[in-house]
């Protein structure tokens, strides 16, 4: 299949990478994991994503940073004992293939498909597509279609790591309602205002807010729009980063995850398609 002119292919460590360079942005996608590693709009030349300098980019393990794809479950919510099945599902450790690519005034469009969707812990017939539109904004859509004859329930997320100059000066704007706090035995708490960071943060916000802004020193940094979601997940490991093998002990200072997610269980009837979309501005 012909590849769009704004895409080149790089091979490194046994993994193929798509390098996108068009008049509006540059970007990099790893076909291992269907994983967006970098997105830089040319309007300001600022990297939106954080990628761990210790990330494994050779296919040995999931990539730390960028935009991991979580599917068909989120975290360890797979109905088995923790560790019995891979955290966040098994799409992020597969090699994906390019099924479509083209160019328009909006930028470069790339559509990827995983090697398989049926696996241990999810024995259903379905198809999955991951579509990127990379231009003056970055749109990512994860589509799940039920191609079988019975309904199934799944969870999914775009687990995006955003680049921030200093987490001590970062804040979020746009989140409302209650959240479940994993660091406090899943206690339900009201969303803080102002929303700042002073320690380990692992929260599932239950209100599907359509837009969250990431601020630095109260000045706009990045907009995150979400569609087709039921929750927003916010994560920063803080000092716990020191125990994460593919993350620098002080890496937490320069990242925050704001994840477009479906964590409450999405039921999909035969013939139905669900789209989860995140737009990064």
What are the structural domains, with CATH classification, of the chain?
7-280 (2.70.98.10)
- What gap in Å lies between CA 75 and CA 195, rounded to an integer? 24
What residues act catalytically? 159, 259
Q: Determine the distance from the C-alpha atom of residue 137 to the mean position of all C-alpha atoms in its chain, rounded to a whole number.
A: 15
Per-residue model confidence (pLDDT) at position 76: 82
Q: What percent of the chain has pLDDT over 70?
A: 100
| Per-residue pLDDT tens digits for 208-249 | 999 999 999 999 999 999 999 999 999 999 999 999 999 999
- The 7-12 sheet, strands edge to edge: 7-12, 15-21, 25-30, 35-41
What are the angstrom distances between the C-alpha of 155 and each of 17, 26, 89, 123, 264?
27, 30, 9, 14, 7
- What gap in Å lies between CA 140 and CA 71, rounded to an integer? 15
Residue 200 has pLDDT above 90, yes or no: yes
Token pair belonging to 233: 């997940």
Write down the pTM of the prediction: 0.96
């Amino acid at each position: 299949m012909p590849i769009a002119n704004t895409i080149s292919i790089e091979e490194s460590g046994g993994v193929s990478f798509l390098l996108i360079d068009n008049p509006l942005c540059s970007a990099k996608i790893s076909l291992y994991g269907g994983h967006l590693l970098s997105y830089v709009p040319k309007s300001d030349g600022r990297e939106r994503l954080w990628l761990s300098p210790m990330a494994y980019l050779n296919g040995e393990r999931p990539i730390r940073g960028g935009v991991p794809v979580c599917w068909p479950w989120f975290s360890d919510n797979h109905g088995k004992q923790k560790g019995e099945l891979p955290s966040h599902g098994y799409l992020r450790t597969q090699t994906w293939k390019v099924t479509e690519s083209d160019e328009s005034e909006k930028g470069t469009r790339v559509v990827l498909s995983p090697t398989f969707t049926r696996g241990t812990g999810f024995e259903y017939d379905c198809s999955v597509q991951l579509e990127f539109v990379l231009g003056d904004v970055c749109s990512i859509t994860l589509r799940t279609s039920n191609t079988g004859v019975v309904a199934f329930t799944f969870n999914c997320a775009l687990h995006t790591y955003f680049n921030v100059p200093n987490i001590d000066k970062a804040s979020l704007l746009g989140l409302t309602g209650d959240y479940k706090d994993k660091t406090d035995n899943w206690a339900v708490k009201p969303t803080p205002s102002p929303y700042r960071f002073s320690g380990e943060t692992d929260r599932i916000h239950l209100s599907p807010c359509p837009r969250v802004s990431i601020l630095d020193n109260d000045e706009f940094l990045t907009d995150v729009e979400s569609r087709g979601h039921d929750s927003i997940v916010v994560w920063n490991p803080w000092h716990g980063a020191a125990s994460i093998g593919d993350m620098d002990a002080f890496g937490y200072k320069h990242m925050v995850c704001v994840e477009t997610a479906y964590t409450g269980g999405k039921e999909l009837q035969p013939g139905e398609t669900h789209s989860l979309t995140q737009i990064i501005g």
